A and B are shown apart, each in its own frame.
Chain A
């Protein structure tokens, strides 16, 4: 007899959303809640710009659409596409560097005529997909050979992204690959060895592959004091904003630090400081709890996924989402060096949001496309 693999999803509880649209009710609710909170802070952080909020709503709509679309693709289909998505992404990363030599500063975009596209964004999905795809075909825990091959598959695109240079994204894609390995049961001693190997590769990049201005950027990244009037100033201002918010906050639209223009990048990477100033510790804890709920739900989906591919992919995407939150909040509150990562669904800007929501679409697909299990 056939029985559903997951008893929690017994038939009478499956809502229309879940059955027809392949969405996960809990996750969608939490993401919508987060988006609304994001829009409210954005309105304040942009000195009450209706335009900015409208733009953000448009971007969110695009991102949610991406999520719904991804949720319709069954994990099996996604798995079949995986090697091609990865290869395609890799080729585009190389193209971006070749075509981009003329441009200035960072060259991340590929002009496809109709629209422009950031291959590094695709890699945020393609790397965890590729690692999950490869490892799901091997016995686990992965053999040393599998680990080495996977590491190369992570390191090559990461290196290409570093060359753009886009260190925030490089950090995310390498972390996502690592998470998939970790969840697959990577042995501790192998983990330590690989880490050491990666550290050993750094000088190679530094000495032979990076250009002078890229090195300068990296140095400033790890040591804001090199640029006391730049990043150092950001941190001072954002900690003042957060601290002065206190337990209850100064109230929506009343954050003096934010409203009086002291806080740079206050509607993008540093928007968390605006939130903390206006809503206080109580607001902050609620926001972190909301993020924690989303992450918890993601890990729950991972644990209950039906096959290794789904498990590894769901787990890795969820933990990568956590990296966003941790790095951004850690940076704004002065715990970490300044890495340009947005606060998911709250910061102003569109590109990474679309990828993020596509990732949640994949999670939902893994949750809702369930096969009947024959035993």
Chain B
């Protein structure tokens, strides 16, 4: 044993000697290279000193970055949604201002500076680097510009400059989809390519402004200028022009978007309209909305706090981020799963006594209609939205087959439409529950899942997309918000986005699509249809499904009195539809938060959007 050790030790000694030798070699290398650096310094600082000292005296060459013009954002018909407007701004560079308080007080004497502007400026100052020029006041009038010019000498470090500033001409219109730009913060500054962003002060913060930042921004140019000793520009020496950002053409139709926004009125909620053949999102409304212009040059605290604290959450993009139980709007999907897996034949009936129970479980699952629907076949169960039929169907289908089928319609997955922050909702399954809750699946949960309650959550965008997949008989197209990219200088089309087209659902019996189509059409046009409130005076056919999703669950035997509940406890109203029923072109999903009944509240809003579309808004002209 001792011998082994000895042997190993000799090896190690040899290795150690080798290491020491190599380390000395490396050390020698370090010395040589350090000597090289020292020599270079001597060369510059001793031999070259005279020359460089002279150059430094005469050094009058500065680089001035030239920020590029940001690309514009258009709707599909060329209506400008985001543009750049020249305006005069009063800019302060903190490091050049000798006494900030005196300067601000002095400026307050000659210009009208509101408390909000002052507050906004102080906020900017706290967040920005001291050598950045920060706007104290934007959009100066000619009179104000003149007033400042006369007093300019009193204010070192303060300038009036004509700058291009992002402007959203329609204010709150489509604000969530378009998004907005704001001043670049420290964190973003670290992320961006500084050469591209030289001189740029703004960057996309949300929506398409953020999503397409890379292309919208463009590439900064540089100008070499000769300056006098004080740094004032005498003459330009060389120039590399900035490359402007590209223009983005969205799939949105501003007119249809407005119809959706108006339809929503004072309610909180979302309407998403989608061309089922192209995957184009035609309207992506989230209400209430906000004016994105206030964020461009920094927002004052009071305004921001008001937006933040508004219980209706205007900044929240419900269309892609709002996750709600789909309620009965899920029934066409579950129903199709049941038919496809042969749980029921379309003609087979289930008796609805108003409740449903399973062996060995005391709980009773109630139908929304307490006295029951009687015998229900597939068509009747859809038209009248019978819960018991779906309880039984879902229970026999089982959660695994249900989840696998629904997944193909995009539930449980962010659709990737091109708006940052899309949520994926929740498609309940055994795997999901194990991961999210660390628990196994209970049979009772399958039952409640089959009417789109329980853990089930989806966004309005997901619902519209899933409906479009039904309308396309199993083909998913898009969804997408970007239609094309145009060169800002010559208007040439740089890229047209091809929507992703994929068959996601294949049925053994393709005629089942017709059964589902018919059931959704009858839900609107049938005499007992839950969506019949919108069927009058229709010169085209709508296929749709109502939904009412519980915000919180009531105890089994509690009576439900809507009048007594506060509004915020009221159910969400949903409606999802496509039209025309025989040759679908558009799919629309609407969600009205605490709206109550899907048929009475959400369906009419969808109809307004469909009517507008059928009259040619967002329609044929743009489809190849």
Which residues of A are in contact with B by a Cβ distance under 8 Å? 46-47, 49, 51, 103-106, 109, 139-141, 179, 182-185, 227-230, 233, 237, 239-247, 256-257, 260-262, 264, 276, 280-281, 284-285, 288, 291-292, 295-296, 299, 302-303, 308, 311-312, 315, 319, 322, 326, 329-330, 333-335, 375
Contact at A335–B41, with CB atoms within 8 Å? no
Partner of B49, one of A105, A243, A260, A299: A243
Residues of A within 8 A of B191 (CB): 103-106, 109
B46, A246: Cβ atoms under 8 Å?
yes
Q: Is the CB of A246 within 8 A of B15?
A: no
Of B31, B44, B51, which is within 8 A of A333 by CB?
A: B44
| A105-B191, A229-B222, A230-B195 given; A285·B22 CB < 8 A | no
- Which of B's residues lie within 8 Å of A, judged by CB? 9, 11-12, 15-16, 18-20, 22-23, 26-27, 30-31, 33-34, 36-38, 40-42, 44-46, 48-49, 51-53, 55-56, 59, 61-63, 95, 130-131, 191-193, 195-196, 213-214, 222, 224, 231, 238, 240
A243's contact among B33, B36, B48, B195, by CB below 8 Å, is which? B48
Q: Assess the B19–A184 pair: CB atoms within 8 A.
A: yes
Across the interface, do B62 and A244 meet the contact criterion of CB distance under 8 Å? no
A281 contact set on B, CB distance < 8 A:
41-42, 45-46
Q: Which of A46, A260, A284, A315 contacts B45 (CB 8 A)?
A: A284
The reply to whether B23 and A47 form a contact with Cβ atoms under 8 Å apart is no
Q: Given A243-B51, A329-B37, answer yes or no on A311-B16 (Cβ-Cβ < 8 Å).
A: yes
Best-surrounded residue of B23, B42, B224 (most CB of chain A within 10 A): B23
- Contact A243-B45, Cβ < 8 Å, known A104-B192, A257-B56: yes
- Quick check: A105 and B196 within 8 Å, CB to CB? yes
Given A104-B191, A139-B11; A49-B130 close (CB under 8 Å): yes
Tell whether, in the assembled complex, residue B45 and residue A185 are in contact, meaning their CB atoms are under 8 Å apart: no
State the Cβ distance, A315 to closest chain B Cβ, in Å. 6
- A191 CB to nearest B CB, Å: 11
Query: Is A104 within 8 A of B214, CB to CB?
Result: yes
B45:A229 contact, CB within 8 angstroms: no
How close is B61's CB to chain A, nearest CB, in angstroms?
Answer: 8
14 interchain pairs, CB-CB under 8 A = A104-B193, A105-B196, A139-B15, A179-B26, A227-B195, A243-B44, A244-B49, A244-B55, A246-B46, A257-B56, A296-B27, A302-B23, A319-B30, A329-B37
Q: Say whether A333 contacts B37, CB under 8 Å.
A: yes
Say yes or no: A239 contacts B52, CB within 8 Å. yes
Residue contact A333 to B41, C-beta cutoff 8 Å? yes
**Considering only CB atoms, which chain A residue lies closest to B222 in the complex?**
A229
Contact B37 A288 (CB under 8 A): yes
Q: A179-B26, A183-B23, A184-B19 are in contact. Are A326 and B41 (CB under 8 A)?
A: no
Main secondary structure of the interface of B (DSSP, over half): helix
Which residues in A have their C-beta under 8 angstroms from that of B53?
243-244, 246
Best-buried of A46, A303, A308 by chain B (most CB within 10 Å): A303
CB distance from B352 to the nearest CB of A (A): 47
Closest B residue to A292 using CB positions = B34
The interface residues of chain A lying within 8 Å CB-to-CB of B34 are 288, 291-292, 326
Tell me the complex Cα distance, A46–B63, Å: 18
Distance, CA A260 to CA B230, complexed state (A):
9
Whether A230 lies near B222 (C-beta < 8 A) is yes
Known: A184-B19, A242-B52. 8 other contacts (CB 8 A): A105-B192, A139-B11, A185-B22, A240-B55, A246-B46, A246-B53, A247-B49, A288-B34
A303 touches B20 (CB 8 A): yes
A104 to B213, CA, bound (A): 8
Task: Give the residue among A229, A256, A329, A375 with the most B Cβ atoms within 10 A.
Answer: A229
Residues of A within 8 A of B48 (CB): 243
> Which chain A positions have C-beta within 8 A of B61?
262
Closest 8 interchain pairs by CB? Answer: A243-B52, A244-B56, A229-B222, A243-B44, A105-B193, A281-B45, A246-B49, A244-B52
B14 to chain A: closest residue by CB: A140
User: Which B residue's beta carbon lies closest to that of A328?
Assistant: B37
| Residues of chain A within 8 A of B222, CB atoms compared | 229-230
Residues of A within 8 A of B193 (CB): 104-106
User: Contact at A183–B55, with CB atoms within 8 Å?
Assistant: no
Q: How far is the CA of A35 from the CA of B322 in the complex (A)?
A: 49
Residue of A nearest to B22 (CB): A183
A262 and B41 within 8 A (CB)? no
Residues in A whose Cβ lies below 8 Å from that of B38:
284-285, 288
Min Cβ gap B179→A in Å is: 15
Q: How many Å lie between the Cα of A120 and that of B567 in the bound state?
A: 52
Complexed CA–CA distance, A106 and B195 (Å): 13
Contact between chains at A335 and B40 (CB < 8 Å): yes
Which residues of the partner chain B approach A329 to less than 8 Å between Cβ atoms?
Answer: 37
Nearest CB on B from A301, distance (A): 10
If A104-B213, A106-B193 touch, whether A280 touches B15 (CB-CB below 8 Å) is no
- Please measure, in the bound complex, the distance between the C-alpha atom of A13 and the C-alpha atom of B513, giving whole angstroms: 87
CA distance A47 to B191 in the complex (A): 24
Chain B residues whose C-beta falls within 8 Å of the C-beta of A303 in the assembled complex:
19-20, 23
Chain B contacts for A47, CB-based, 8 A: 95, 130-131
Q: How far is the CA of A364 from the CA of B9 in the complex (A)?
A: 25
- Min Cβ gap A42→B in Å is 14
Shortest distance from the beta carbon of A365 to any chain B beta carbon, whole Å: 19
Partner of A299, one of B9, B26, B231: B26
Are A257 and B59 interface neighbours, CB within 8 A?
yes
When distances are taken between beta carbons in the complex, the residues of chain A under 8 Å from B51 are 243
How far apart sit A312 and B23, CA to CA, in the bound complex (Å)?
10
From known contacts A319-B26, A319-B30, infer whether A261 and B45 are also in contact, taking CB-CB under 8 Å.
no
Contact B18 A141 (CB under 8 A): yes
What's the least CB distance linking B284 to chain A, in Å? 19
Contacts of A140 in B (CB 8 A): 15, 18-19
Residues of chain B with a CB closer than 8 A to A104's CB: 191-193, 213-214
- Do A185 and B18 touch (CB < 8 A)? yes
User: How near does chain A come to B584, taking the closest CB pair, in angstroms?
Assistant: 32
A315 with B19, Cβ < 8 A, contacts A103-B191, A257-B59 known: yes
With a CB–CB cut-off of 8 A, which chain B residues contact A319?
26, 30
User: Contacts of A182 on B, CB cut-off 8 Å?
Assistant: 22, 26
Q: Are A299 and B23 in contact (CB under 8 A)?
A: yes
Q: Smallest CB-CB separation from A229: which chain B residue?
A: B222
Q: Establish whether residues B37 and A330, one from each chain, have CB atoms under 8 Å apart when the complex forms.
A: yes
Closest B residue, CB atoms, query A136: B15
Contacts of B27 in A (CB 8 A): 295-296, 299
Q: Please report the C-alpha to C-alpha distance between residue A373 and residue B416 in the assembled complex, in whole angstroms.
A: 62
Q: How far is the CA of A375 from the CA of B574 in the complex (A)?
A: 82
Q: For A333, give the chain B residue with the smallest CB separation.
A: B40
Given the complex, which residues of A lie within 8 Å of B26, measured CB to CB? Answer: 179, 182-183, 299, 315, 319
Q: Is A292 a contact partner of B41 (Cβ separation < 8 A)?
A: no
Identify which of B12, B31, B191 gathers the most chain A CB atoms within 10 Å of its CB. B191
Taking the nearest CB of chain A, how far is it from the CB of B267, in angstroms? 33
CB neighbours (8 Å) of B213 from chain A are 104
Inter-chain contacts of A233 with B (CB < 8 A): 63, 224
Q: Do A276 and B45 have beta carbons less than 8 Å apart?
A: yes
Complex formed: what's the CA distance from A295 to B28 in Å? 12
A350 to B59 Cα, complex, angstroms:
32
Residue in chain A with minimal CB distance to B45 = A281
Q: Which residue in chain B gives the minimum CB-CB distance to A46?
A: B130
- Residues of A near B56 (CB, < 8 A) are 240-241, 243-244, 256-257
Least Cβ distance of A260 to chain B in Å?
7
A243-B45, A247-B45 known; A260 and B231 CB under 8 Å? yes
Contacts of A229 in B (CB 8 A): 63, 222, 224, 238, 240
Please name all residues of chain A whose beta carbon is closer than 8 Å to the beta carbon of B238 when the two chains form the complex: 228-229
Query: Bound state CA distance, A239 and B56, in angstroms?
Result: 10
> Which residues of chain A have C-beta atoms less than 8 A from B9's C-beta?
375
Q: Roughly how many angstroms separate A176 CA and B16 CA in the complex, as a whole number?
A: 20
How far apart are the CA atoms of A202 and B36 in the complex, in Å?
29
Asked if residues B240 and A285 are in contact (CB atoms below 8 Å), the reply is: no
Contacts A319-B26, A322-B30 known; A51 to B52 CB distance under 8 Å? no
Query: A296–B41 Cα gap in the complex (Å)?
Result: 21
Minimum C-beta distance from A82 to chain B (A): 18
